[in-house]
Amino acid sequence: MIRARTGAGGRQGSGSIVDAADSLSTIAAAALGIAGFSGVMTAFMQRPGRLTTVESYRVAVLLGVSFGGLFLALAPMALERFGVPEPALWGRASVLMVAYSVIAVTVYLASSRHIARQAPEIFNRYLFAGIAIGHFVNIGLQLNNALRPNAVASGIYVLGLIWYLAHAAIQFSRMLFVQPGDR
């Protein structure tokens, strides 16, 4: 079972340290909540007809990072059910995060380049660079975690999940407050 850290005297966490499974479930719920709110927001902001290319891009990025966070938060629980012991469990979960992140970042960079030409007013190049760098740092941390899982492996994995939620929150807020010129 994905265990809680123990406090003084070998007792389970003293209330200040949350069980790992609870943390993962909370992150999964937050990711699902962001994805759900994006659907509501898109419905309220949409003009009649189909979504524009820019709107589709923005929703796809938001759903990609929020559902990525959701499924990656559930992955360690599935691995645990298959009998993968700790800390190898966190190393294998990090392998999944690296694989997903490489695909997601590649798609994000390629599609963003295309959309930046179409709607430059919605792009802040410094924020874009910061998000890309954040994903590359996360990939590096997770790759290291995959190759050398240790006592802090779960913390590094959860940090990667928090990065996914941060990117989703940034995307959500920009969808609300930074509109294309044709709006």
Question: Do residues 68 and 104 lie in contact, with contact meaning Cβ atoms separated by under 8 Å?
Answer: yes
Tens of pLDDT, residue by residue over 90-133, are: 999 999 999 999 999 999 999 999 999 988 988 899 999 999 99
Query: With bands split at pLDDT 50, 70 and 90, how would you rate the model's confidence at 157?
Result: very high
Residue 40's pLDDT is 54
Q: Would you kindly state where each structural domain of the chain is located, as residue ranges? A: 24-177
Specify the higher pLDDT residue, 36 or 65.
65
Distance CA 10, CA 155 (A): 20
Tens of pLDDT, residue by residue over 19-49, are: 666 666 666 676 666 666 556 555 555 566 6
